[in-house]
Amino acid sequence: MSNPFQHLAEPLDTAKPDKNFYNLIKLGDSRYGRLPFSIRILLEAAIRNCDEFLVKKKDVENILNWKVTQHENVEVPFRPARVILQDFTGVPAVVDFAAMRDAVQRLGGDPQTINPVCPADLVIDHSIQVDFNRRTDSLQKNQELEFERNRERFEFLKWG
């Protein structure tokens, strides 16, 4: 089934009509204006992903009725378009995917079928050190040392 909220989709840039956003103002629902901004993000994601299978119109209605449902045990679907993981949380996720792929392969399956549901970016930033400064080649030298010091970790993450 197609998205029942497709009529809310508008081009982000008229020069590039293939990039759309869902204009929630076009809902014409007064409840939208009273929603906290964090709940509006959940509403937009639910509307964007509404397929009447994983995300239903009833889910959108539950979010619009946030003022009432916030005190109830109502499940809200959350399907982010992208996840950004800091290395502290991302590395265990990569390890989990590697373990699942190994298990699937051992059982005779295709390990390439084990992938995240949504794109994820892993940010590795805690190991940056400055050994060289005040030189025209400082950036290059510092990066070379960083890769040398963390080669095993970076190779694992690239593999994973």
Tens-digit pLDDT profile for residues 128-150? 789 999 999 999 999 899 888 88
Task: Give the pairing of strands 9-13 and 16-22.
Answer: antiparallel
| Whether the model pTM is above 0.85 | no
Measured distance CA(152)–CA(133) in Å, rounded: 26
Measured distance CA(1)–CA(85) in Å, rounded: 32
Residue-wise pLDDT tens digits, 71-89: 888 989 988 889 999 888 8
> Could you tell me the residue ranges of all domains in the chain?
6-69, 83-159
